[in-house]
């Protein structure tokens, strides 16, 4: 039973906000409220229905502060680190969501994209947004940085790893037509030496070929000198630029060992 010295659920979350905390676990709340498990669940459930909490996964709650209650949720970057810690999964914000942080998304991403090691996690839908998880085999090859948020920080792929991921997982980034547009804006944030290190770490020659061609197409020739030399030494077979389009009548790029079977131009 609730004791006289224990707060109500509403008081409890306001106290957390007062200390700069936006997430908590149900077991933690139960201990503080000094109530039975079901009683705690029902008290928190009422706050969820009132729009003061969201529950991205069972037993894990996010407090929606007053300034965000009209939208029904906090921005995912405010709580993604705590959520992934609760899941016990390594992660980084990647693909179009990372590109957006570097000012290169072009269009507002329709989902918050998170990269994890190969085992998948179901998408999480809250209100009008969705957190989507993408399994990446060579996850440990990724370079990651920490970006500050109003509640702490989030782990984000570096510009160079973002460029690699966008090219390798282009279907999850709106296709190569969209990727070339994003790269045209992201290229300003890329460092040629760091890019070459990233490509070598991943050691995926086809992705390197396509990335080099795309960057050169958007005017990033200075970024591609070392990359072109590395591809040339590998001497890969001719393969299509676009993975699903036919190669009949495709022109050959000897530099990148590609069959250019798509007309790709960045949006202006």
Domains of the chain (ranges plus CATH)?
A: 9-68 (1.10.10), 76-260 (3.30.460)
Nearest to residue 163, comparing CAs of 210, 203, 126?
210
Which residue reads 């980084």 in tokens? Answer: 92
User: Is the whole-model pTM more than 0.95?
Assistant: no
pLDDT of 3 higher than 60: no
pLDDT of 5 higher than 70: no
Q: How do residues 106-129 score in pLDDT, each as one tens digit?
A: 777 789 999 999 777 899 988 778
Which residue reads 């590609």 in tokens? Answer: 258
Q: How do residues 156-171 score in pLDDT, each as one tens digit?
A: 999 999 999 999 999 9
pLDDT of 177 higher than 90: yes
- Return the number of other C-beta atoms located less than 10 Å from residue 169's C-beta: 18
Query: Please, what's the largest Cα pairwise distance for the chain?
Result: 80
């Amino acid at each position: 039973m609730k004791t006289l010295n224990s707060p109500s659920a509403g008081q409890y979350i306001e106290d957390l906000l007062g200390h700069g905390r936006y997430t908590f676990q149900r077991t933690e709340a139960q201990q503080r409220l000094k109530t039975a498990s079901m009683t705690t669940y029902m008290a928190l459930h009422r706050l969820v229905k009132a729009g003061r909490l969201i529950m991205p996964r069972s037993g894990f709650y996010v407090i929606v502060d007053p300034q965000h209650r009209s939208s029904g949720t906090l921005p995912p970057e405010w709580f993604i680190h705590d959520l992934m810690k609760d899941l016990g999964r390594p992660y980084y914000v990647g693909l179009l969501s990372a590109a957006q942080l570097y000012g290169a998304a072009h269009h507002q991403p329709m989902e918050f994209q998170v990269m994890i090691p190969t085992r998948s996690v179901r998408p999480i839908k809250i209100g009008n947004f969705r957190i989507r998880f993408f399994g990446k085999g060579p996850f440990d090859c990724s370079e990651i940085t920490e970006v500050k948020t109003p509640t702490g920080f989030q782990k984000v792929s570096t510009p160079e790893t973002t460029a690699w991921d966008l090219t390798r997982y282009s279907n999850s980034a709106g296709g190569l037509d969209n990727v070339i547009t994003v790269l045209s804006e992201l290229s300003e944030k890329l460092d040629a030496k760091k890019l070459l290190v990233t490509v070598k770490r991943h050691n995926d020659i086809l992705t390197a070929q396509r990335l080099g061609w795309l960057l050169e197409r958007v005017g990033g020739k200075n970024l591609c000198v070392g990359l072109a030399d590395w591809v040339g030494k590998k001497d890969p077979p001719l393969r299509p630029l676009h993975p699903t389009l036919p190669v009949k009548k495709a022109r050959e790029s000897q530099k990148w060992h590609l069959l250019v079977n798509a007309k790709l131009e960045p949006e202006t």
